[in-house]
Structure 1
């Protein structure tokens, strides 16, 4: 059985922690790699050999890290300049291109990845509406979706997997409701449904996805906030369990995780419950077996490990660990 490693990036202490997960789920901090700067979004290569992290402070760059698949230790292999402070990075399905979305610079970028796994110089920049926030390839690797939080859009692109080129689809974007603030997108494991978390009103939108056209069709909107919530929403992250039965979101002002059940016939969402968690849970992740949720708090500087009830999606706290300063992104080896 291959070991499971968890990587946590820290925006203020400028380091990445490697945690090991035992067969019973118990977590142990194994290594700390200090790189310096504001380290935030991360992405793994499809082959599992490389971890990429975006440094959001000057000099802004995509840093390539090698993963020791036996110990989980990370080693720096190189870095390549990025044209902005990136809120999100991901690779295409082949691992040959790195996508990035810049919130302050209002742009997307595409960088080649060499045969040695290292990110190379940016080859394309795409201007967006205000505050690009998320970008990733669709399951077929023929299209790319991205969000513009300030522009209130989900952008739709054709993607040439041979050259890495992005070209606008028709239509080029889906327009969200005023004040929604599209932030993060996730595909259902079946590849037919897409979910969108909106930061500014903390709602979730559900779409059907046309794999041939690469376009979205809106189906449902549902609120994720606790019933007694008062104030300005600040939704953050969203993940589905690998079996596609449950969807979870995080909200920073209430410091909660919200669980939804997904209808197996059409993907429709039903609100189940909220669970209090670490303060300002910007990032969380679900293990590949779907049994465990890990959440970090930006201002609590801790990680909480929860067991996910397979029937109700209820979260039960199992462990709490100190992290570095301002933990915000989690990657788990597959």
Structure 2
């Protein structure tokens, strides 16, 4: 079956990590109408106890998917991706001492980074030529509750967050040997709780989500020095919201024009227009699935998928290319406690 529609656009493979059921749902997103269909339910071999969440990461070439098991056994499962159907095949499992809340490959796909919220550290481990994640080779202590980690677009530095320390680390990265060194730190206002972050497509700006105040801090990123300079802070909370903030996830469209963030207590998605100087212009707050811990934007930038950690459903929204507005195209049940989504464009 061809994954191409008459307009020549390929369908999208969708991977949803279900933290409570401890499995991955593989879905197919039709780019023609924004509808989802089930391809595969991938259980974890030897899973004894699911974890609180199931973080996922893709290889840069989209051939491999990595999943961090936070339950028992702990570790990283590696899967190969069928380029035409999106179906997963298990490659193997690398045990870990730590529960990692976030994983990401470096830009070459040769190393996998982890951020351990419970262990207050970040990790690095090699990825074999066969695409399988290997045992961790470096652990670096951080201030409490490391929560996000990613290399910069040049792959020269690795940035990581400490939610409890209100810090962003910028490590020098040896991309040959895969080692972190000499971290600089950037402090945020006390009580921000830095969690996840994204770079704009040009690597000039970094957008950081605060879990504890649901803010987005806009930084100018100096790639030469690996330093951050704060430009703006905006709230993602809906007008009139007076509960305790609980920010969860942040993503930017591939063209860098629109940015979205999810907040769990208001169960809403905040959307922003991105100005030419990197600043954010608030657009709207859209009610979504209950407790949207994770969401994602497909590689073409046409659809946004939001997961309801408490509803066990995923909602698909079409993104309006003119103003970033979201309109629902589908909603289906997935596994229990969905909290992570990654997407790959399929071959025809």
Partner of 1:224: 236
Partner of 2:154: 140
Aligned partners of 2:150, 2:129: CA distance in 1, in Å?
21
Partner of 1:126: 140
What is the correspondence of 1:18-57 to structure 2 with a 5 Å cutoff? 18-24=26-32, 25-35=34-44, 36=47, 37-38=50-51, 40-57=54-71
Name which of 295, 313, 317 aligns with 2:306. 295
Aligned partners of 2:37, 2:245: CA distance in 1, in Å?
33
Aligned partners of 1:49, 1:226: CA distance in 2, in Å?
38
Contact 1:135–1:146 (8 Å) recurs in 2: yes
Aligned partners of 2:167, 2:66: CA distance in 1, in Å?
26
Q: Please list every run of at least 4 consecutive aligned residues from structure 1 whose deviation after the TM superposition is greater than 4 angstroms.
A: none
Taking structure 2 as the reference length, what is the TM-score of the superposition? 0.93
What is the correspondence of 1:161-200 to structure 2 with a 5 Å cutoff? 161-169=175-183, 172-200=184-212
- Name the SS for the 1:197 alignment partner: strand
What is the correspondence of 1:148-159 to structure 2 with a 5 Å cutoff? 148-159=162-173
Partner of 1:236: 248
Deviation (angstroms), 1:49:
1.5
Are 2:22 and 1:8 aligned? no
Taking structure 1 as the reference length, what is the TM-score of the superposition? 0.97
- Name the SS for the 1:267 alignment partner: coil
Unaligned ranges ≥5, structure 2 = 5-9
> Pairwise CA RMSD of aligned residues?
1.0
Contact 1:203–1:224 (8 Å) recurs in 2: yes
Partner of 2:114: 100
How many matched pairs?
Answer: 331
Partner of 2:318: 307
Aligned partners of 2:133, 2:216: CA distance in 1, in Å?
33
Aligned partners of 2:104, 2:127: CA distance in 1, in Å?
12
Contact 1:90–1:100 (8 Å) recurs in 2: yes
Partner of 2:7: none
Partner of 2:262: 250
Are 2:300 and 1:286 aligned? no
Unaligned ranges ≥5, structure 1 = none
- Name the SS for the 1:333 alignment partner: strand
- Name the SS for the 1:86 alignment partner: coil
Deviation (angstroms), 1:322:
0.5
Structure with higher RCO (Cα < 8 A, 6+ apart): 2
- Name the SS for the 2:172 alignment partner: strand
